[in-house]
Chains A and B, each alone.
Chain A
Amino acid sequence: MTSLQPISLPPRWLPLRLLLGGIIFAGVLLLIPRHDWMLHTSLSGFLVRCGSSLIVLAVGLLLALCIGVIVGLRARQMAQRMERFIALLGRALACVPVVVLVWGGLGGWIGRLGWPVETLMPAQFPDAHDSWHTLLAQALWKFLAPAFILALPLAGEMIHAVIVDGRSVLDLDFPLRARGVPRASRLWLHHLRLLLPLLRVRLQSLCLIASVYLIIIEDALHFLGWGEWMAQSLRAGVAPRLAIGFASGGAMLALLCLCLQVLPGRLKCAGGFVATLAWQPWLLWALGAQAFVASPSLLWIMLWIAVFVSGSAGWIQAWNRIEAKIPVEAARVFGPSPGMIWRRHIAGLQFRMLAAWICSVLAQTLTGIAAACAVRPALLEKLCAPLAKLYRPLAIASAQDAAHTLADPAALLLSGGGIALASLCLIQVSRIVQPRNL
């Protein structure tokens, strides 16, 4: 999802800002009157949930990073067309709604192969847990199943990022080759060293969206973690529960981003209020806010605002880079009016940027609606008929829906494939239309 918008540089003290953002949003939710303060859980139980989700997030992110780097660097050794194709595949994978990945995966794993997913299995006789390795295996698989599913879209993002960002860093391939540095060293030492700061930023931005993915995945797998708690709270619309969820979510994201700081290499931090705003989990917040809004138009406005704000810093930074290279001063030498300069040198670029931005926002809205409908199937009723038809297989509201999807995931896959294709097409149009650095 993040690859659909231009990447922006994070602000300074990102972990702190994320923590504060979560707390502030939780505070805003608590302003909503008529609270039900019954949280129906203990503090230790909730902390265990958060810990479990942190493990899943960490494993998922690490897997995504490793797969992205392996595939991306491997693609770099191939022909340029092949490299672009692999980047496109990565982007396509990132465009597939997570609910499709999780239910499609379950359909194949359980429905077709008949293999177990620990969190979804019926109770078992305790005698079967005799051996320690059985216990260990079950615990391991309990955590790895959601981590694998989480890693899929994130890996798509990372593959795309490794290939695209690989082109934006200094290409030392020729001089290193001239010095006789072996290919493996050129790639895994020098190129990766240059790439790592960018990948760190990518991973940090992925953390923001991964929290939403986690809610969908844990909810589908009945994994008792922070995500499942949030899914329940979002459906119930209980403000105090959501507030705790957002505050703890902010803390989890802060912790993850802090851990990612250990990756070597630093980039210049972005300043300003816009970067602070953009580097917040806006989609997560939008889902939370939607739980308290009845008007259909407001629901989607919230989603657009989330998409707009989360991409704002990236678009502004991209425009600033382009604007800096527009030869306005040189044009003034020839004495045209400012209006003419704007028409001749800026208007076209601004129009293209606007078109690219609209396409990008539309693409991200498509996947955002999928996430919102997956978490709160009731939202489906607030969509217009054609969209509701498209998203209906993704909104698994009841156990019967789930059983039906498990038995025959064709409708889900068709719908998800359609959304992914539409999203991919829009983002490709956005990429084509968007002006390059001049």
Chain B
Amino acid sequence: MILARTFILGFPLLVAAAAAWAVHESRISRMNRTEGVVVMLSQNEPVLNPFLPATEVEQEITDLVHEPLIRLGAVGTLQPGFAEFWRWSQDVTCWFADEATARKAQELLHAQLGEQNRWAEWHLDSVRVQEKRLLLSFTEPNSAGVQQAFEVVAGLNLKPVVFWRIERRTPLRQSWGQFMAGSSLAGQIQRVWFDGPNACEIVVAGDSHKLLEDMHRFLDISREEPAAIHPLAEVGALSEPVLDLDIRPGQHWHDGTPATADDAKATLEFLRGNDWPLPNREALSNIQTLESQNNGARLHVSFRRRQGTALCVFVNLPILPAEWLRAHPAAQPADFMEHAPPGAGTHRIAARDSQSLMLAPVQQDKGMPGFLFNFSASPLMTQIGMRTHAVDLVWPAADQTYLEQLRFTPPRQRLVVLWNTRHEALQHARCRLALALATDKDALISALPGRLGHADASLFAPGLWFSTLAESQPFQLEQARKILSEAGWPRADAGPARSQDRPLRFTLLVPGVDALHKRTADLLVAQWQQLGVEVKIEHVPDALALSQRLHEHRFDAVLLDQRFEVSWDQLPWWHSSQAKPGGSNFCGIADPQIDLILEALAAEYDPEQVPRRVRELESRLLPLHPLLTLFTTHDEAAAMPTLREKRSARGPVSDWTLQTLTGPPRLTPTAPLIQLQLRQPE
């Protein structure tokens, strides 16, 4: 009896006591989490391709795990990443009939080191002879001394340097390989650059006639269908901008192997070999040669074109280990998911499965938190995590309760209206100004879904060292009506604004896939109707059709997403040379003064000079109102009260990233652009 009674009374008590203890322990273990940040994400397991982050979260995970050569710092300046220093220079190569002539040319140049020391004036650093070639190295990429130095040696039997372009209907690479292996004249070809699979450009030193015959022999598909080979230009010497990046010593990958310039070289070659839509893709494709020098301490990059913004291709571009890239030459999403490449960032991937990803800080002693990302988090799981204080961040923000705890990430793109200045009404700047004044952006932001931010009128991305934050036009409907009336489109009562013979009307081209675009277009049309402008919306089904319409200039105004890139080159979008059909100056702005500024800006190699040139450009271009900026789009995360942030983040801030949680922003000084001292010739 005693046994039965004890059991019947004791068992529930024992179970209750065990449960109470278990709950207590479980609560304590979850509440006393000091080691990291738990993030709930509604998205599925990401691929984590560091070059193609699909979402903002992926971008920020990549920033934690991988290290670029040059990093964009917290205050929008260029900061050292893998590369400790970088500097631009210029290599000029001349070809002579023989080595003796080349040596003679070298002597002539050495003679300039006399009392006047013209080398310093020319920014000439060294002159070397390699067989029949004379190599001149200038410390300034834009040095005017190139021409003067060239004039010194021009009288010596210089071989002409000719640029040829070869095009074929079928892929060219294999035949080209056969030609280079089989032709005795292939040595004349100094540079080869493939422009896609079916075309390439070559640089030939000397007489090209026999070489062309030989090329046709190898490259012609048939007698009826020969390869198209035509000259592009002929010059006396080959001038190439060169970027040297000194790799920071003592850096290691997360697997312990040292990180060298070979890895950077392998990464850039890997990226050039595929067609991923990377930022500054064009600059990447303009790389002529990549060399790892000084036992992997320096990456030597030469470019085939003079482009000052080429430096931007290295900004925030993650570098992967050469070994991993060799093992995955054609990396697919599965490779990134199953065999994630080691990075060299502040955090390493400690564990990964389809449901979660754990990032551990590489240096435990710095007090950085780890990150645990829970993928495919259902609203239930999210709610439970929030209620039990088991999560620190919910991304995207799901619960209205935590609206005051929102954190906004930096904008990655903005929505703009681009005007076609070829339109009979929109060609007038005052008309475009009136439309800008009649656009109530605050009303758009409050009426549209998603987290939208105020965009400035600048042509460039915000938050960069050269951003101008040009003020956009405030909403002034009456002023807009007045301007429109003065410009020749008065409005009678509530009717349409019209000139003497016709009302003011145009068509707004809208990409038809995105709901945000559609709703924005509807609201814009309603706002512009208040001005008396009749706007018809036309949807284009896909990006290809949109691109075609833009390149053919078959639009009046178009709503476009402008992706922010770290680049100051605006030449393709506003230069008059691009305004003809097929060009990328869709707006049609043609101003010689602007052209000059654009050219100077595109050729600017010194980042410190960029802000001045940008201000100069905007002071000339923005008064023409070529585009109307509407708003930026942001990602938002809800931070739980349990989140211990190193930096106060009160209220809506738009520069919040996961890096914010790892500590104060790295205030490394901007890498100095080393001015090399002139060396005396040995």
Q: Which positions in A face B, CB cutoff 8 Å?
A: 59, 62-63, 65-67, 69-70, 110-111, 114-118, 120-129, 133-134, 136-138, 140-141, 144, 147-148, 184-185, 188-189, 192, 399-400, 402-403, 406-407
Contacts and interface: CB of A to CB of B under 8 A. Distances in A.
B36 A125 contact: yes
Interface in B548-600: none
B380 A399 contact: yes
A123 B356 contact: yes
Closest 8 CB pairs of A and B: A137-B25, A399-B378, A141-B22, A403-B379, A189-B1, A402-B380, A137-B22, A140-B22
Nearest to B13: A66
A403 B377 CA distance: 12
Interface in B23-78: 23-27, 29-30, 32-33, 35-36, 38, 40
Nearest to B387: A114
A126 B360 CA distance: 11
Interface stretch (B90-98, B263-271, B388-396, B672-680): B388-396
Given A144-B18, A148-B19, A189-B4, 7 more contacts: A111-B383, A116-B27, A120-B380, A122-B374, A134-B29, A140-B22, A188-B4
B381 interface: yes
B5 interface: yes
Chain B: interface secondary structure?
helix
Interface string B133-152: 00000000000000000000
Contact of B372 (A123, A148, A188, A403): A123
Contacts of A114: 387-389
B178 to A, nearest CB: 50
B380 A133 contact: no
Interface in B364-413: 370, 372, 374, 377-385, 387-391
B144 to A, nearest CB: 60
A406 B380 contact: yes
12 contacts: A110-B387, A111-B383, A116-B27, A122-B381, A124-B372, A128-B35, A188-B5, A399-B378, A399-B381, A400-B379, A403-B379, A406-B387
Contact of B27 (A115, A129, A184, A185): A115
B494 interface: no
B330 interface: no
B12 interface: yes
B390 A70 contact: no
A116 B26 contact: yes
B372 A125 contact: yes
A122 B35 contact: no
Interface string B634-649: 0000000000000000
B327 interface: no
A198 to B, nearest CB: 15
Nearest to A264: B4
A119 B27 CA distance: 14
Interface residues on B, range: 35 or more
A140 B19 contact: yes
B15 A59 contact: yes
A151 B545 CA distance: 64
Nearest to B2: A188
B19 A141 contact: yes
B29 A128 contact: yes
Given A122-B385, A407-B383, A185 B1 contact: yes
B390 A116 contact: yes
B11 interface: yes
A39 to B, nearest CB: 19
A310 to B, nearest CB: 29
A116 B389 CA distance: 9
Given A138-B25, A144-B15, A121 B384 contact: yes
A120 B381 contact: yes
B358 interface: yes
Nearest to B28: A134
A403 B38 CA distance: 20
